[in-house]
Amino acid sequence: MDVRDRLARTVLGAAAAVASAGVLLIALAVTVEGWPALPHLFGAVWSPEDGQYGVLPLLAGSALVTLGSLAMAVPAGIGMGLFLSDVATPRLAAVVKPVLQGMAAVPSVVFGFLGLKLIVPWISRTFGGLGFSLLAGCLVLALMVLPTIAAVAEDALRAVDPALREGAYALGATPGQVAWRLLLPAAKSGLTAAVVLALGRALGETMAVLMVLGNAAAVPRSPLDPARTLTGNIALEMAYATGRHREALFASGALLLLVNLAVTQVARRAAGGRGVR
Amino acid sequence: MRPLLSALALAVSGVMVGLVAALAAGAAGSLTPGFLFTLPAAAGREGGILSVVLSTLWLAAGALALALPLGIGTALYLVEYAPPGRLVGLIRTLTETLAGVPSILFGLFGFSVFVVRLGWGPSLLAGSATLALMLLPTVIRTSEEAVAAVPQELREGAAALGATRWDAVRRIVLPQAAPGILTGALLALGRAVGETAAVLLTAGTDLALPRSPLDPGRPMAVHLYILAGEGLSDGRAHATAVALVCGVLFVNALAHMLLGGRRVP
């Protein structure tokens, strides 16, 4: 083998090694930095001033805002996918798709800002209170993950064999029956993949929810209560945290990574081992 | 069902257009050419966003300068050089897992390693290195797809003419894959420009004009977060948001033009 060829193989292999090491280094760094604080995370109160680092309220905040946003975004996203694959004329789809693509590209901090300026005041006017709430976080996050779900769902629905559709229509099925009884079940694994992808994004999102949740570190009792997520907590407190407090934030990061990987792995298994791109 | 889904599509598109319109309306009067080319003053209450725009560009350029060679190199190794078998699967699993890591964790990692342990402090360099790690999966995925799409006959033809593998990669595969790789670079650029959480912990929030890679800098996304969060200037927050969205959408539209209707890989 040529010398330069061998050199190229070595250099490119080194690049691949560095890229592969990335995720391991992240896991290692947050675990090492957070290790001493790990036993302190199991508590129901997060109050660094009093030396209490229980992550329960943060975990609850992350879980509720994620589930709440998916409850809104999954039906709407799959509906949009169905609209694009089976209802819209090509010309109409050519208008709606760029809107969704643009929406997917808008930075999360801009969604947070829009939530702060439009959704928070709207909630305050409609339901009273300050408006900074779990509900505001769910709405903002739902808008953010909707384009992802719609795009993946559209692909999955388009991949359903057209002959099945034609057969169903030939038997006299209505469009609603075709969608509900044929397309959605046939595209199930792809649709599950869309939900998994959205789940991972929602759980890991930081800025958009941070700006509208109100960030009280307590378990919310109603959708109108403020909440704080694991991610937002790190962004809020890292700038001034020292000592045990800083270790606790790193430990909560390690926990977030673990939860994120576990949830997406489990959901991926449920999707039938189909790769999520 | 059709009317229901059409109404849904109309509602979603309407909400999106409404949000953009509200943003633009809030920025009217504040977003002038001078705003982009004036330095901020009084913690962002006065003046423009020149230093903020420059910090954004430096951060993104630095991130791409690190992520592109590493990402394209990884893609070339995977497609052209790696022995078939478990190694390829392992590399792919690890880089795909990296794609699912929440951005705040990149921030924690960058803070721990680049800012503290390597002693770079909050700086453009630390921010760029952190962003680069975050962009790697995007660059690898798009480059790998572009490189794999180059017809096998071209490689065989090159080999038949006596070219080494590296010659074929350099002279034939890379030029053929260039548009696909460029698409990936643009998608990565869009993400780098809009990212907040990862740079908030690593690049600092200094408003001064950065003069070296070791100076801290405040990118546009962080500036918007601070202006809005601290209620410093509503008009300037809107103007910053509009400028940021325009930049990101422009870069993204270029990427989608290159993709020509195919979905983002």
The reported pLDDT for the residue numbered B213 is 93
Print pLDDT tens along chain B (265 aa).
788 999 999 999 999 899 999 999 999 888 888 898 889 988 888 888 999 999 999 999 999 999 999 999 999 999 999 998 889 999 999 999 999 999 999 999 999 999 999 999 999 999 999 999 999 999 999 999 999 999 999 999 999 999 999 999 999 999 999 999 999 999 999 999 999 999 999 998 899 999 999 999 999 999 999 999 888 888 999 999 999 999 999 999 999 888 776 666 5
| Best of B81, B97, B183 to mutate (most A CBs within 10 Å, chain A) | B97
Q: Is the pTM of this model over 0.90?
A: yes
Buried b (16+ CB within 10 A) or exposed e, B54-77: bbbbbbbebbbebbbebbbbbbbb
* Inter-chain touch B103–A176, beta carbons under 8 Å: no
Residue A272: pLDDT above 50? yes
Q: Which of B4, B5, B195 to mutate to test the interface with A (most CBs of A within 10 A)?
A: B5
Q: Which residues of A touch B248 (CB under 8 A)?
A: 105-107
Q: Say whether B194 and A116 touch across the interface (CB within 8 A).
A: no
CA dihedral sign of residues B72, B73, B76, B77: negative
Is there a contact between A8 and B196 if contact means CB atoms under 8 Å apart?
no
pLDDT at position A271 is 65
Q: What is the pLDDT of residues A137-187, one digit of tens each?
A: 999 999 999 999 999 999 999 999 999 999 999 999 999 999 999 999 999
Chain A residues touching B95 at Cβ < 8 A: 19-20, 22-23
Say if strands A46-47 and B46-47 run parallel, antiparallel, or are unpaired. Answer: unpaired
Q: How far is it, in rounded angstroms, from Cα B96 to Cα A23?
A: 9
- Pull the structure tokens for residue B47: 């003046």
Q: What is the largest CA-CA distance in chain A?
A: 74
A77-115 confidence digits (pLDDT tens): 999 999 999 999 999 998 899 899 899 999 999 999 999
The residues near B116 (Cβ < 8 Å, ≥ 6 apart) are none
DSSP letter string over B246-261?
A: HHHHHHHHHHHHHHTT
Question: Does residue A276 surpass a pLDDT of 70?
Answer: no
- Least Cα separation, residue A202 to chain B (angstroms): 9
What local confidence, expressed as pLDDT, does residue B261 receive? Answer: 63
CA distance B27 to chain A (A): 12
Q: Give the tokens for residue A31.
A: 């675990």
| Residue B90 to chain A, least CA–CA distance (Å) | 8
Question: What is the reported pLDDT for A275?
Answer: 44
Contact B104 A256 (CB under 8 A): yes
Considering only the beta carbons, identify the residue of B12, B80, B249 that sits closest to A105: B249
Which B-chain residues 199-258 have CB contacts (< 8 A) with chain A? 200-201, 221-222, 224-225, 228-229, 237, 241, 244-245, 248-249, 252, 256
- Which residue, chain included where needed, has tokens 């300068």? B65
Tokens of A63: 């879980």
User: Which residues of chain B neighbour A12 with C-beta distances below 8 Å?
Assistant: 73-74, 76-77, 80-81
ipTM: 0.93
